Structure 1
Amino acid sequence: MTNAYILTLSCPDRRGLVHAVSGFLLDHDSNIEEAGQFNDPATGLFFMRVRFANAGPAAQLREDLEAFALPFEMHWRLHAAEEKIKTVIMVSRQGHCLNDLLFRWKEGLLPIDIRAIVSNHRDFYQLAASYNIPFHHIPVTAATKAQAEAKQFEIIEAEGAELVVLARYMQVLSNDLCSKLSGRAINIHHSFLPSFKGAKPYYQAHDRGVKLIGATAHYVTADLDEGPIIEQDVARAYHTDTVDDLTARGQDTESQVLARAVKWHSEHRVLMNGHKTVIFR
């Protein structure tokens, strides 16, 4: 019986890396099903993602990979391809992204396992119940922020969540929580970053008479709205549009952008390259 794996890696670029990785997999009786690589001249780094089938014991494969990667100074991760990523979704009072993610997940379009929904409001407890997903209402105020985040992180850890999705969660996470969730929290910003940051970008965009509006999905960092960008998209704006028109069109864009970012992350297609990302599509 063979198992499918996804190997992701990065290391200083040098000649023969593709040959070395392919040779390692061949020596371990693996069949490569999909492969992509990228070398970045700006950083001198090499990136690779390989999906392969292997019939041997996973523990031995990991042990051999550790020894193989050492002389190349490789940062690597090996994932079981069929294993769905345990996910916690956080949301406030706008549910378009949450609703879209839940529908895609239910239809089998996202390889994630949604374990819980956390919100600082009660608005979506019935929606969560309709999908049979635990809903946790944790109010947040300036005075209770630290305690609230402690409860949120306790839920995330209890569920074994490898991914946290901020589906229009309208609270700024503390530096401490951002650090704990580094590399595994995705936010959707209702703006084509870095333009029009803040709480009301559609009002700003309307005031400036922009011709394009957009949305940005990025990893969460302590620098607000500055994390590595995973996906962006835009929609046309017209001089006849009201703020409500822009908001409605923008929310459709937000939902699509966030869904793509979640899908790519959960398929292990996103590799970090400093403050940027490499996406193997």
Structure 2
Amino acid sequence: MIAVITYDHPHRKTQDLLFRLMLSGYIDIDLIVLPWQDRPETHPLYRHRPLEPVDISIEKLCSTFNLNYYRRDYNDLGLLQNYSKILIAGTGILPEDVTKYKIINSHPGYLPNVRGLDALKWAILNGQPIGVTTHFIGAETDTGILIERRILPIYHTDTFHSIALRQYETEIDMLVNSLSIEPEGTELKAYREYPVNKRMGAHDEIRMMSRLNKLIGSQ
């Protein structure tokens, strides 16, 4: 039985992940539904995450696909012990004690090099590998036990948004893939030289795009 952790709110990554899981033959899926947490509105110069889910409630979504769902608070996740595989589609900050359940996250960055928010943008700006990592979550942000890492190919015909879409699709693919592969097993630690990034500001976004144009031009 697979558990998918998600928000009590329409969510694009959750919808795409469920679709891919079922196309791959996984049908025994429960949704663990956590409270939606409002976040400060951001106004980036370059948006890079899919924003528009299908406007459908958790109840309707699960009814359509014949799935069970369980609403829980962040401090009430003991039912995770009932699942052999647990995937994160979307969540806020989980309590540290849930790391014992071997919860799988797909991070849109190459760990441990690029941690935190806006990982794609920071990877481009800082000349780090552009990639995706699946891992069992650890106690600190973007740490834990490595399952798989992939570096994204970059083509001379790429744009910022084509790379962002490729990265997003790779996140979904690797989450599904994590159910059937042997974890690589390396411990992902919190290294001082790779701090947790925050949202990228407009000045750095402009610098990032300049770096990206040079990277694409070199392909």
Under TM normalisation by the shorter chain, which class is it?
Answer: 0.5 to 0.7
Aligned residue-pair number: 166
- Quick one: which of 191, 201, 204 aligns to 2:109? 191
Structure 1 residue aligned with 2:137: 220
The answer to whether structure 1 residue 204 and structure 2 residue 122 are counterparts is yes
Structure 2 residue aligned with 1:127: 61
Counterpart of 2:180 in 1: which secondary structure? helix
**Structure with greater proportional strand content:** 1
The 1:259–1:177 alpha-carbon spacing in structure 2 relative to 1, beyond 3 Å, is same
Structure 2 segments unaligned to the other structure (5+ residues): 37-54, 189-219
| 1:99-135 deviation per Cα after TM superposition (whole angstroms, max 9, x unaligned) | 344234434534x621234243396524333212133
Counterpart of 1:225 in 2: which secondary structure? coil
Q: What TM-score do the two structures reach when normalised by structure 2?
A: 0.62
- Indicate conservation of the 8 Å contact 1:117/1:133, yes or no: no
- Indicate conservation of the 8 Å contact 1:231/1:260, yes or no: no
The answer to whether structure 1 residue 234 and structure 2 residue 156 are counterparts is no
Structure 1 residue aligned with 2:180: 263
The 1:259–1:124 alpha-carbon spacing in structure 2 relative to 1, beyond 3 Å, is farther
CA distance in 1, matches of 2:116, 2:79: 28
Aligned ranges 1:165-184 → 2 under 5 Å: 165-167=87-89, 169-179=90-100, 181=101, 184=102
The answer to whether structure 1 residue 89 and structure 2 residue 16 are counterparts is no
Letter in 1 for 2:80: I
Letter in 2 for 1:163: K
- Indicate conservation of the 8 Å contact 1:165/1:186, yes or no: yes
Structure 1 segments unaligned to the other structure (5+ residues): 1-85, 139-147, 277-281
- Indicate conservation of the 8 Å contact 2:134/2:175, yes or no: yes
The 1:196–1:238 alpha-carbon spacing in structure 2 relative to 1, beyond 3 Å, is farther
- Quick one: which of 8, 11, 15 aligns to 1:99? 15
| 1:79-117 deviation per Cα after TM superposition (whole angstroms, max 9, x unaligned) | xxxxxxx22101246533x3344234434534x621234
The 1:271–1:238 alpha-carbon spacing in structure 2 relative to 1, beyond 3 Å, is closer
Letter in 2 for 1:258: L
CA distance in 2, matches of 1:107, 1:253: 16
Counterpart of 2:168 in 1: which secondary structure? helix
User: CA offset at residue 185 of structure 1?
Assistant: 1.1
- Indicate conservation of the 8 Å contact 2:147/2:184, yes or no: no
The 1:237–1:222 alpha-carbon spacing in structure 2 relative to 1, beyond 3 Å, is same
| 1:22-68 deviation per Cα after TM superposition (whole angstroms, max 9, x unaligned) | xxxxxxxxxxxxxxxxxxxxxxxxxxxxxxxxxxxxxxxxxxxxxxx
CA distance in 1, matches of 2:64, 2:93: 28
- Indicate conservation of the 8 Å contact 1:216/1:229, yes or no: yes
Which has more radius of gyration? 1
Aligned ranges 1:6-25 → 2 under 5 Å: none
Percent identity, please.
Answer: 23
> Bigger shift: 201-210 or 247-256?
201-210
